[in-house]
Structure 1
Amino acid sequence: MVQTATLPGPAGNSKLEKKPVKFSNLLLGAGLNMFEVTTLGQPLEVVKTTMAAHRGDGFGSALGRVWSRGGVLGFYQGLIPWAWIEASTKGAVLLFVASEAEYYARSFGAGDFTAGISGGITGGVAQAYATMGFCTCMKTVEITKHKQAAAGVKPQSTFATFMDIYRKEGIAGINKGVNAVAIRQMTNWGSRFGLSRLAEGWIRSATGKKDGEKLSAGEKILASGLGGGLSAWNQPIEVIRVEMQSKKEDPNRPKKMTVGNTFKYIYGNNGIKGLYRGVAPRIGLGVWQTICMVAIGDIAKQYVEALTGDKVSAKH
């Protein structure tokens, strides 16, 4: 049984409760992430990555490029097993670490906005280094490796590609770009959690709701959507991440790629527009994630509670 802990609140006259991370929460998070990525999530991810890797492409030409790699199946490159592994684990890591970090931030007197950012940043970094580094790397490899297919050679299987990278570059090769992933996740979840909390406050003020009063499903979707959409400000980090993990051939690329020299390479070749390439499908991805985690999440809660007999307390 998971126990809760209480500490004096910031004002000293109320108790701050540490909510337990329940199995039902982890099951719900994993299930919703799996549903999200298997439906629209991976196609949007593929288009976003394609645009970030081929920065001369517009949205339409990126769709054509993806379609040429296998029709509808081209939009699901990297889904199995990498996107599924990432989806089934990252939610659990984020929920557990962000919950702990937000609790301790509140115990030191932080408000909703600051505690939300603290939880998001810490959870995002944990996600990157624990599960997302090698998953995003292998997804990007799957999406951007086209040299063999263009030459008429049957591309390597997913695991053959994985082992080939491991033999040549070791763990570092499998986790290539993980520092950029960590920066992206840190800024992404920090701003998403913080801005969503801020938006919730605006909505409560506009509707006359008191602090702590529940928002409707539509209001939660609006708050989360604003947080997710505005979090796309860090798209340059995502483009840098894709470039670092891409397997495309270019003699002008830095031999040993870091976040700094990759930024210079992209900016020098494509300017500021290149750094924001793929931002539209990323915003679309944020909207779909919000719908899955909030609207569909509320329905899924009922089924998880019936299945486990445990009340789900996860925040979406």
Structure 2
Amino acid sequence: MANSIETSAPTKVAQPEIQKKAVSFQNILLGAAIQTFEVSTLGQPFEVVKTHMAANRGDSIATSLSKTYARGGIAGFYQGLIPWAWIEASTKGGVLLFTSSEIEYRVRRAGLSSSWAGLFGGIGGGVAQAYTTMGFCTFMKTVEVTRHKSADANLSTWRIAYDVFQREGIRGLNRGVSAVALRQMTNWGSRLGISRVTESFFRGKDTTRKLSTAERLMASAVGGALACWNQPLEVIRVEMQSQSKAADRPTNLNLFSTARYIYQKNGFLGFYRGVTPRIGLSVYLTVCMVFGGDSIKAYFSEKQKQKQNPNH
């Protein structure tokens, strides 16, 4: 009697279901709170020094610090915090968490990795930030830092905003928004994407392993630091929104004419003025928004599960 050979189809390993991170009205408020905390602590001093160096491309870090302090002491490092940075922070944080979480979920459901999901989520969240809340706010923050170089140095920023609106309308108040959108798109695409790649590197072959707190912090810090490759966009944005009135400065600046002007005045290195304080800002911001945002969203998601399944 012939021996029968039993064959069976290879066992298919069940893949974990892609879970959507809970994004509720509560989480949108949470994003606003995290961003407001970030800008009210170390965020705004980094922002002020970075903006000063991008607008005054001949100044070193030490010179920028001394000039900022001379303008108003410790308070000088918080120029533009109230109300502009608070308005921006309280809105863009919620926009980022809501948009990026939704896009990350859709990309993962489409079969792409968490790294690609982070990249596309960051890009979408950054663009949404720029065109919903950041154009006007970044313009007014830059006015705060650079208006001492203009003929209107004694005017309040509210008055400058009113005069700009009278002359140029909404377009004038959103001057440089195209550079802001490119910066935010590349900022958060890089921050989230690189952070997720670093997380995958830490996990290695065990793709489901829960990362330690130190690993998640490191991933966020790496994402924040390496995202500063796009510093030229930040320098262009600051120059477009600056209140300086140099004789050779073109009057109607766009992305290309601004880039040409910066290169003619300061060469290639001019595009990287202020990159050091920006790295500090980016690391701090990314740790707050990626590590902090993920941690708190996971906390509320767990609380929601406990409410739905009280017996587990």
**How would you bin the TM-score normalised by the shorter chain?**
0.7 to 0.9
Alpha-carbon distance, 1:212 to partner:
2.8
Alpha-carbon distance, 1:19 to partner:
3.7
> What is the rounded CA distance, in whole Å, between the counterparts of 1:273 and 1:13 in structure 2?
48
1:200 equivalent in alignment to 2:196:
no
Does the C-alpha gap of structure 1 residues 296 and 59 become closer, same or farther in structure 2, counting only changes over 3 Å? same
TM-score, normalising length: structure 2: 0.86
Q: Counterpart of 1:213?
A: 209
* Contact kept? 2:53, 2:274, Cα under 8 Å: yes
Amino acid in the other structure paired with 1:201? S
Alpha-carbon distance, 1:168 to partner:
1.4
Larger Rg: 2
Compute the RMSD of aligned alpha carbons: 2.5
Return 5+ residue gaps in structure 1 as ranges: 1-10
Of 256, 262, 287, 2:252 maps to 256
**CA offset digits 1:43-79 (Å, max 9, x no partner):** 1100000000000000000111111211111111110
> What is the rounded CA distance, in whole Å, between the counterparts of 2:15 and 2:81 in structure 1?
50
> What is the rounded CA distance, in whole Å, between the counterparts of 1:211 and 1:299 in structure 2?
18
SS of the equivalent of 2:194 reads: helix
SS of the equivalent of 2:71 reads: coil
SS of the equivalent of 2:249 reads: coil
Aligned residues: 292
Does the C-alpha gap of structure 1 residues 47 and 198 become closer, same or farther in structure 2, counting only changes over 3 Å? same
> What is the rounded CA distance, in whole Å, between the counterparts of 2:123 and 2:290 in structure 1?
21
**CA offset digits 1:182-203 (Å, max 9, x no partner):** 0000011111111111100111
Does the C-alpha gap of structure 1 residues 13 and 231 become closer, same or farther in structure 2, counting only changes over 3 Å? closer
SS of the equivalent of 1:70 reads: helix
Does the C-alpha gap of structure 1 residues 55 and 251 become closer, same or farther in structure 2, counting only changes over 3 Å? same
Alpha-carbon distance, 1:300 to partner:
6.7
- Higher mean C-alpha displacement, 266-275 vs 23-32: 23-32
Amino acid in the other structure paired with 2:247? P
> What is the rounded CA distance, in whole Å, between the counterparts of 1:154 and 1:147 in structure 2?
7
Alpha-carbon distance, 1:293 to partner:
3.9
> What is the rounded CA distance, in whole Å, between the counterparts of 1:310 and 1:69 in structure 2?
49
Alpha-carbon distance, 1:265 to partner:
0.7
Q: Counterpart of 1:67?
A: 69
Amino acid in the other structure paired with 1:130? T
Does the C-alpha gap of structure 1 residues 295 and 130 become closer, same or farther in structure 2, counting only changes over 3 Å? closer
SS of the equivalent of 1:253 reads: coil
Which residues in structure 2 correspond to 1:38-53 (within 5 Å)?
38-53=40-55
Alpha-carbon distance, 1:162 to partner:
1.5
> What is the rounded CA distance, in whole Å, between the counterparts of 1:212 and 1:253 in structure 2?
55
1:181 equivalent in alignment to 2:183:
no
Of 26, 45, 48, 1:24 maps to 26
Q: Counterpart of 2:3?
A: none
TM-score, normalising length: structure 1: 0.85
> What is the rounded CA distance, in whole Å, between the counterparts of 1:223 and 1:120 in structure 2?
15
* Contact kept? 2:135, 2:175, Cα under 8 Å: yes
- Same amino acid, percent of matched pairs: 56
Amino acid in the other structure paired with 2:189? G
* Contact kept? 1:217, 1:294, Cα under 8 Å: no
Alpha-carbon distance, 1:253 to partner:
1.7
